[in-house]
C-alpha cells in the first residue's frame, strides 16, 4: 500500500494487527499499533483491544497488565472488552489478583475510562474462579458488591455460588441463594435445578427436592 502511495487508515492497521496476533507475531503487532500515531494514523479502541488479546494469548500477563494501565487507560481505550479479555485469559493461571485489582480500578471510574466498568461478564468470571478455588466468601463478597453497583447477576452468577455451596455441604445457604434468585426475578435453568435437587437428595430431604 505504501509503495503505491496508498495511505492506510486505522481500520487497515487494525486488521493487520489482528492478522499478526493470530499468527503469533505479537511483537510486530505491538510495533505496528504503537507506531500508528508517529505515522499520523489515529489508533482506535479496536486496534488496542486486538493487540491486548494477542498479548494475552501469548501468555504474557505482566505485559498485558502494563499495556492496559500505561497505554490503553491514558487514551481512554479501556472498556468492558479489555477487562473481559484480560480476566478470561488469565483466570486459568490463577491470576485473579490482578484481575480483581483491575475490577476495583474500573469501579473507581477513572476519568478516561471508556464506558461503564466492570460488567456482568467480568464479575461473573472472577466469581466463578473464586468458587472453583474454594474461596467462597470472597466470591460472595464480589457477588453482593456487583449488586450494589447496579449490575444484575444472571443465572451463571447464581449457579457458581449454588454449585460451591452444594459441594461444600452448605445446602441451607445454597437454598437461601436459590430462593433469593427466584425473588429477584431470575429464572433457574437445568443446571440450577440439578444442583439443588442433587444436594437435597444427598441430604435426605426428599420432600424439599420434590418441591424444587
Looking at the predicted structure, is the pLDDT value of residue 117 above 70?
A: no
Q: Contact at 8 Å (CB) between 130 and 136?
A: yes
Joined together, the cell numbers standing for residue 115 give 464506558
Phi, psi of 194 (to 5 degrees): -65, -40
Looking at the predicted structure, is the pLDDT value of residue 115 above 50?
A: no
Q: Contact at 8 Å (CB) between 143 and 177?
A: no
Radius of gyration of the chain from its Cα atoms, rounded to whole angstroms: 22
From CA 108, how far away is CA 127, in angstroms rounded?
Answer: 19
- Sign of the Cα torsion 197, 172, 137, 80 reads positive
Q: Contact at 8 Å (CB) between 24 and 58?
A: yes
Percent of the chain with pLDDT strictly greater than 70: 79
What is the DSSP-derived secondary structure letter of residue 41?
P
Q: What is the pLDDT of residues 164-205, one digit of tens each?
A: 888 888 888 888 888 888 888 888 899 999 999 988 888 888
Q: Does the reported pTM lie above 0.85?
A: no
What is the DSSP-derived secondary structure letter of residue 69?
I
Q: What is the pLDDT of residues 21-72, one digit of tens each?
A: 777 787 888 887 777 777 777 777 888 888 888 888 777 777 887 888 788 8
Residue 102 is predicted with a pLDDT of 53
Q: What is the pLDDT of residues 125-147, one digit of tens each?
A: 777 777 777 777 877 787 887 78
Amino acid at each position: 500500500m505504501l509503495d503505491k502511495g496508498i495511505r492506510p487508515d486505522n481500520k487497515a492497521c487494525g486488521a493487520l494487527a489482528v492478522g499478526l496476533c493470530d499468527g503469533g507475531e505479537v511483537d510486530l503487532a505491538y510495533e505496528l499499533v504503537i507506531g500508528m500515531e508517529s505515522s499520523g494514523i489515529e489508533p482506535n479502541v479496536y486496534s488496542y483491544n486486538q493487540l491486548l488479546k494477542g498479548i494475552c494469548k501469548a501468555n504474557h500477563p505482566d505485559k498485558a497488565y502494563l499495556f492496559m494501565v500505561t497505554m490503553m487507560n491514558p487514551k481512554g481505550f479501556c472498556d468492558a472488552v479489555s477487562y473481559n479479555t484480560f480476566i478470561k485469559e488469565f483466570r486459568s493461571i490463577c491470576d485473579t489478583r490482578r484481575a480483581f485489582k483491575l475490577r476495583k480500578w474500573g469501579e473507581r471510574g477513572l476519568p478516561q475510562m471508556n464506558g461503564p466498568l466492570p460488567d456482568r461478564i467480568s464479575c461473573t468470571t472472577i466469581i466463578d474462579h473464586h468458587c472453583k478455588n474454594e474461596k467462597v466468601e470472597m466470591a460472595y463478597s464480589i457477588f453482593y458488591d456487583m449488586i450494589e453497583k447496579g449490575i444484575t447477576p444472571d443465572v451463571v452468577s447464581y449457579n457458581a455460588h449454588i454449585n460451591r455451596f452444594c459441594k461444600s455441604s452448605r445446602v441451607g445457604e445454597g437454598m437461601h441463594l436459590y430462593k433469593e434468585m427466584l425473588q429477584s426475578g431470575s429464572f433457574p435453568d437445568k443446571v440450577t435445578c440439578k444442583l439443588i435437587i442433587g444436594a437435597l437428595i444427598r441430604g435426605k430431604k426428599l420432600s424439599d427436592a420434590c418441591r424444587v
